[in-house]
Amino acid sequence: VKDDAGDEIGELGHAFNEMTTALAETTNDVRELHEREIERASQLATVGELASGIAHEIKNPVVGVANGLDIVRRRVGTDATLLPIIDEMERQMRRVQGAIQELLTFARPAIPALAPVSANDLAERAIRLVQPTADKGGVRIEARLDPSHASVLADAEMIHQALINLLMNAIEATPHGGRVGVYTRTSGNWIEIDITDTGRGISPEHLESVFKPFFTTRHTGTGLGLSITREIIQRHGGTVALRSRLGEGTTVTIRLPAHASGAAAASQEPAK
């Protein structure tokens, strides 16, 4: 009996030692990860300061060039040779202006000015803005909006920007003949907005990186769109989740706290 007890105590001691070693290794891994994240946060803060300074320096000359192009366009009139060149110059100038604005937004995120707003109104407004781009690319936009017209307490312009970022990503990822969906619904105390596409999807190794600043798999863009989107939603007390399968498409789900009085008012509306 003593031998058996000794064996059991020995095994227990061995297991305890293994557990202690594993715990120490895990603690060390967590510490190293934390240190790397702090270092990265410090680097991003420095990058943000640099980005802000550079963007401000570039912004005024770019506005001057854009105004100059407008004058040139009026002088050129209907010249069939020069007009396409000016059109392309203006397109590229808009790209530069968009990149500058993204850098400024990333470096100096705004504080939301909260007010009750319908989630459906936000979705419809964003769809109207991107509809011409979708039509040009042969992409159909499908909307299914919550009939309760539930509202969120939000900064309408900031949420609008987040939705535009997601919709443009979805449209650009979807081939001609594909579909982008926008769906709103109430889930308990949350309002959820799904943006889906039938595009190329995101590879598993990139799923963990898509929300990181400056990460992009495209040849154009700053890689800040999704990072800014997540920052906006988190500043509203919400969350952003992404699901994707290669060759099938992507779904991004925004969850925002429902505006209690708005939800109550919606539930009390008489049936039509």
- Distance in angstroms (rounded) separating the CA atoms of residues 129 and 126: 5
Q: Give the tens place of pLDDT for each residue, 32-69.
A: 665 665 555 555 555 555 555 666 667 677 777 777 88
Segment 15-41 shows an average pLDDT of 66
65-70, long-range: CB < 8 A, 24+ apart: 65/93, 66/90, 66/93, 66/97, 69/93
* Residue 266 near residue 149 (C-beta atoms within 8 A): yes
H or E stretch at 157: helix 156-173
Question: What confidence score (pLDDT) does residue 140 get?
Answer: 96
Q: Taking the model in full, what pTM does it have? A: 0.58
Are 216 and 208 a contacting pair, CB within 8 Å? no
pLDDT, tens digit, for every residue of 140-197? 999 999 998 889 999 998 899 899 989 998 998 899 999 999 999 998 899 999 999 9
* Closest alpha carbon to 10 in 26, 18, 25: 18
